[in-house]
Structure 1
Amino acid sequence: MPATTATRESTLPTGLLALPGVYRPQADTRLLADALAMEDLHPVTEVLEIGTGTGVLALSAAARGARVTAVDVSWRAVTTARLNALRQGLPLRVLHGDFAAGTNGRRYDIVLANPPYVPSPEIALPTGGPARAWDAGPDGRLVIDRICASAPALMRTGGVLLMVHSAMCGTENTLRRLRQAGLTGRTTVRASVPWGPVLRSRRPWLQERGLADAGEEREELVIIRAQAA
């Protein structure tokens, strides 16, 4: 069984390209990579990464021998991930579009997700620009909730979902939605990281909505691990 804390650190590919506007690996990427490192991967393991960005997590799984499909709504991210796969000499299937539609009914052993989760004053998701990688509506859950609802249709029996997001979005809400979808979920890893520039710029709005306290400077990130029966 995977450990409840990440005791084995991941090894991520280095020297990756990132076209302008593509989300670069950050603390949440590393946390998700450490969680992935605790999972058993084999040549027959099929992995799906939702929102691949540079492809760093997908390539990390491919480097361990898994068969990996990555999907992203951004053409720049798709191009970046494909270029990085060529540079690394690793097989990687990269699809453009919505994760639920683009996978065409295929099921996977492991689903990775580092979705947009930053609370935003905008009601709808951005349709372009760098903010597409992080803004996720007033409660930060527009994409998280879709993943919770769609995950069972993406996973094989015994399959695992690994998803990272901010505790600001409501960890218990995520676990409840996963249970409603028929998955068994738990929080496996937590990490406290400094606020980035986006959160700092929204401090008054976050405080007004009760999502942050005055003077708060750190954000708790969580890894949710859910399994299909």
Structure 2
Amino acid sequence: MALSETETADSAAAHAKPRPQATPGPLDGDPALIGVPTFIVGSIALGLTLVGYVPAGTAGAPLAIILAATALGQLIAAVWAAALGQSAVAAIFGVFTGFWLSYAVLVLGLTHGWFAIAGSAATRTQALFLISWLATIVLLTLSTLRLPAAFTVLFTLIDLALALVLSATLNGSSTLQTAGGYTVFAFVAVGCYLFWHVTSLATGGRGLPLGRPAVS
């Protein structure tokens, strides 16, 4: 007796091999979970140095944190973001990888005489560093105006801190340097807010309001 169409379909389904379940890709997650807190810790160390928490002349005090935590964390976050195809995020963390690494090299080089720079030339070298990075971070700020407002506030405060420290370097002003340090603490506060946001999202929460972009 011939099988009905339904019986035939049921028999075929019973003998068919089960299809393998789709497995998640090896790359996932949010690189900011590493990039933001490592940025925060290095910024705190730098801010404390600028406001005079350590004695004058000890510019190398924050380098252990900046090299082993901040620069490395920014690099990991940049590579992670690039692997996920998050080009803008990778660019941001990549730029700050360069900033923190070059800051460490600058301080170590001037402290140990690696570059054969001394006297007033050392001051101009520091100013060269600050001018170069100020121009670059301003460009980064302008190019990310489509991001939520919290990011614009963060980058603008970084620009202001660099400008104050540049003025302090050129004028030998401890007051401007201290102001730069407190501005660093201001963008640390914004960084903490952003970290709470990404952590909330990563743990199943709704995140925090970040404000509307300056450019839609």
- Please say whether Structure 1 and Structure 2 have the same fold, judged by a TM-score greater than 0.5: no
Higher relative contact order at CA 8 Å, sep ≥6: structure 1 or structure 2?
2
Higher share in strand: 1
